[in-house]
Amino acid sequence: MKKTIIALLLLTVVWHWSYADGADPVVQKEIYILKINDAISPGVADFIKTGIKKANDDGAACLIIELDTPGGLAESMRTIIKAILASRIPIVVFVSPGGARAASAGVMITMAADIAAMAPGTNIGAAHPVGAGGKEIEKTMSEKVVNDMVAHAKSVAEQRGRNAEWVEKAIRESVSVTETEALEKNIIDLIAKDTDDLIKQINGREIKDKGRLNLAGAAKKVLQETFRTKVLKTISDPNIAYILLMIGLAGLYFELSHPGAIFPGVIGGICIILAFFALQALPINYAGVLLILLAIVFFIMEMKITSYGLLSVAGIVSLLLGSLMLFEASSPEFRLSWSVLLPTMLLVSGFFVVVAGLVFRAQISTPKTGASGLVGEIGVVKRAIRPDGKVFVHGELWNATAKEPILEGTRVNVVKVDNLVLEVEPLNKTAGS
């Protein structure tokens, strides 16, 4: 018993010696990694923002963003930069692997990082904004956009102690540099062969307001995209959003022209909701949306008004103009592709015209069912008509009347239906007249 008590006392003394300074047992933090190989879109911005939040909530040692991007949307870029600047843990942006680039929006994201690094064979720059279709923005508007971007980029660069003059040139003159030049010009902090080399080089580095990085032996954890992020990234593609919009409008149009079909209406409703979810995250021109809706109005009017195809032509023209004006992005990755626009236009316009034609033809065609559908049908007298009798028409026996007697077995033509009584006349008389 005494030996047990002595052993416990010795363990207690050792424990107190081990933590005499009052520190908690050391828990090795993880290094979180995000891999971005895409244009900067709302989906990518959501992925990075969510990853930064998770890394902060989990108390990660740091978050490394492996970046390879041609650029993207300015609003998505600003969302990412705000998340990086607000992070409590160090954010490292690593332009990698070899052959990768940080162009346009990628320049500002790299500048915003606590530590900016590049792999050999990479480049950074060419951040001048462009208008829809890759054209230069109108001069006055261009000055406003460029000046706003320059002010924002210089502010971020100065906050991180990087070369603000070069950032201005990257925006105004679209200059681009290699990783070696970037290091010489104080655009980045270091060059690393790969992620392991990067971690080795930044281990022990002091980060302003965030302490010293202690990454020795830290485990790496790659954050994967969630299902929500994958969906958002997919439908944030203007081509996908446009196709969803067209399918949705076509489905609702078919349901309105053929009530009770159900399936086209359900598919159309789902596609419309997904399209609007994507459009609210993309830079759209509302004039384009209105022209597309006007095209649908024209197609619906074609079913009601005899325009001899003029309303259909107006609908196709309105749909084409609306499609061309729909997106106003500053990056080629967020413009509607002609290889998507033209086939979709042809298919959807053809669909609308065919459906409108079928509805119009149904409206002017002779009824085929009911009492009115019997007029003009051929029947056989089953009981002589003097002036009343029975006629067999359409597999049914009907009461019939005629202006003159008609013998049994005579083939007759139905000329009128009145209160379920058929008025008929001999077929040979109809033919002779």
What's the pLDDT band for 176 if we cut at 50, 70, 90? Answer: very high
* Residue 167: closest CA among 148, 153, 147: 153
* Domain-wise residue ranges, the chain: 27-228, 237-364, 372-432
Q: Is the pLDDT higher at 273 or at 27?
A: 273
Q: What is the pTM of this model?
A: 0.64
Asked whether 401 and 385 are in contact (CB, 8 A), the reply is yes
Neighbour tally for 377: CB within 10 Å:
15
In CATH, which superfamily holds the domain spanning 372-432? Answer: Nucleic acid-binding proteins (2.40.50.140)
| Per-residue model confidence as pLDDT tens digits over 355-392 | 766 666 655 555 555 566 677 788 898 898 888 899 99
Summarize pLDDT for 252-311 with one digit per residue, the tens.
Answer: 877 877 777 788 888 888 888 888 877 776 777 778 888 888 888 887 777 777 666 687
- What is the secondary structure of 350-391 as a DSSP string? HHHHHHHHHHHHHHHSPP-STTGGGTT-EEEEEE-BSSEEEE
Pairing of strands 91-95, 115-118: parallel
Q: How many CA atoms lie within 13 A of 348 on its CB side?
A: 29
Burial class of 212 by CB neighbour count within 10 A (0 to 12, 13 to 18, 19+): exposed
Q: Which whole number is the average pLDDT over 203-224?
A: 90
Residue 133 gets which letter from DSSP? Answer: G
Question: Which residue would you say has higher pLDDT here, 298 or 106?
Answer: 106
- Which amino acid, 333? E
Q: Assign 6 a pLDDT band (cuts: 50, 70, 90).
A: low
* pLDDT value at 35 more than 70: yes
Over residues 315-327, the pLDDT tens digits come to 888 888 888 887 7
What average pLDDT score do residues 30-40 get? 92
Question: Structurally, what CATH architecture does the domain formed by 27-228 represent?
Answer: Alpha-Beta Complex (3.90)
Structure tokens at 66: 């492996």
Overall average pLDDT of the 62-70 stretch: 94
Mean pLDDT, all residues of the chain:
80
Please give the structure tokens belonging to residue 65.
């963003």
Q: How confident is the model at residue 22, as a pLDDT?
A: 40
Distance (Å, rounded) from C-alpha 237 to C-alpha 228? 15
Match 């018993």 to its residue by tokens.
1
Q: Looking at residues 238-247, what average pLDDT do you find?
A: 84
- Is beta strand 388-393 parallel, antiparallel or unpaired with respect to 190-191? unpaired
Tokens for 62? 């740091």
